Amino acid sequence: MVSQTFEAAAPEAAVVVSRVAACIEYRGTAYRGWQRQQSGVRSVQEAVEKALSRVANHPVSTVCAGRTDAGVHASSQIIHFDSDARRSMANWFHGANANLPADISLAWAQPVEQDFHARFSAKARRYRYVIYNDPVRPAHLAHEVTWNYRTLDIERMQQAGALLVGEHDFSAYRAVACQAKSPVKTIHHLRLVRFGQFIVLDVRANAFLHHMVRNIAGVLMEIGCGERPVEWAAEVLKSRDRREGGLTAPPFGLYLVDVTYPERFQLPHRYMGPHFLSALNSLDD
C-alpha cells in the first residue's frame, strides 16, 4: 500500500513528494539513445521529461531501468520520477501522451514507495533482437529489424547460444568503452525462434553490458551463416578479448522488452513486444 497518493494530499498540508513508476515504449530510430545529451541532440529521456514537466507544471527528472543506445527501441522501458504535483495516474498517463511525439508512448503510470528505484531495484532485464532473414532488403520495418541476406541456420545458432547461458565473464562481448564495474553477468535464458522470415533472439539476464546483446547477435549470425563453427561462441567468451568477437550487430533490431522487479512493488505486467511480432508472447517465460 502506497502511503501517499496525489489525490489524498490536502490543500493545506505540507508539500509531499511522491514517487511514480512508469512504462515507456519508443521507436529509437530518430534519437541518439535514451540518455539526455547536449543541447540540439535528440534523446528519448529529454522528450519524456519535457512531457512530464508540462503535466507536473515543474521540471521533472527521470531515472530509467537501462540506458539504450542510438537506434535501439523499447516496448517496456521502466522509469521513476518524483513530483509534488497532485495528479492522478490518469492525469500522468493522458497528459504525458498528449505531449509526447508519435514515436514515444507512456504505457502506464503507478505510484510507488520511495525505496523503488527503476535501475537498482531491477532483478533482471530482457531484450529481443529481431533479424529479417531474406535475400531481399525489406522496404517495411527497415529501421526496426536487422536485415541479413545470408541464409541463417537457426539450429547452429541455438547450439551456440546455449554455450553462453549461465554466469560468465562477458568481457569479449562488451564494448571497449563499457563502464560497468564487473564484466561478470548471468544469462538466465537465451532462445532463438523463427517466425517466417524473422529470427528472434530472446535473452534475459540479471544485467547487461554495453553492446552485449548486439555482440552476441553478431557472433550468432556469423555462426548461423556457416562462417564460424558453433564452438566459436564459447571460444570468444573464454578469450575475454573484444577483438576476438567480430563485428557488433546493428542497433535497429534491438528491443528492451521487459524488466523484472520484486513482487512487493506490484507493477503492472504488460505484454512484451515488439508489437509486430505479437506471437512471441506465447513463449514460455
pLDDT > 60? residue 27: yes
Which of 33-37, 121-125, 269-273 shows the lowest mean pLDDT across its residues?
269-273
The tens digit of pLDDT for each residue in 102-160 reads 999 999 999 999 999 999 999 999 999 999 999 999 999 989 999 999 999 999 999 99
* Domain span(s) for CATH 3.30.70.660 in the chain: 124-255
pLDDT > 90? residue 277: no
Going from the C-alpha of 104 to that of each of 72, 107, 210, 222, the distances in angstroms are 13, 10, 23, 33
Pick among 3.40.140.10, 1.10.10.350, 3.40.50.970, 3.30.70.580: CATH of 18-121 = 3.30.70.580
> Cβ contacts of residue 101 below 8 Å, gap of 6+?
47
In the structure grid, which three cell numbers stand for residue 136, read together? 531481399
The tens digit of pLDDT for each residue in 175-225 reads 988 889 999 999 999 999 998 999 999 999 999 999 999 999 999 999 999
pLDDT for the residue numbered 199 = 96
Longest dimension (CA), the chain: 71
Q: Catalytic one among 69, 82, 103, 153?
A: 69
Nearest Cα to Cα of residue 67 among 256, 284, 273, 264: 256
pLDDT band with cut points at 50, 70 and 90 for residue 283: low
Euclidean distance between CA atoms 163 and 29, whole angstroms? 32
pLDDT for the residue numbered 179 = 86
pLDDT for the residue numbered 240 = 94
pLDDT band with cut points at 50, 70 and 90 for residue 280: low
* Domain span(s) for CATH 3.30.70.580 in the chain: 18-121
pLDDT for the residue numbered 97 = 97
* pTM, two decimal places: 0.90
- pLDDT, average across residues 266-271: 89
Pick among 3.20.20.70, 2.60.40.10, 3.30.70.660, 1.20.1300.10: CATH of 124-255 = 3.30.70.660
- pLDDT, average across residues 22-45: 92
Angle subtended at Cα 273 by Cα 30 and Cα 157, rounded to the nearest 5 degrees: 95
Is 169 part of the annotated catalytic residue set?
no
pLDDT for the residue numbered 143 = 92
Average pLDDT over the chain, rounded to whole?
91
pLDDT > 80? residue 20: yes
Angle subtended at Cα 270 by Cα 264 and Cα 275, rounded to the nearest 5 degrees: 160
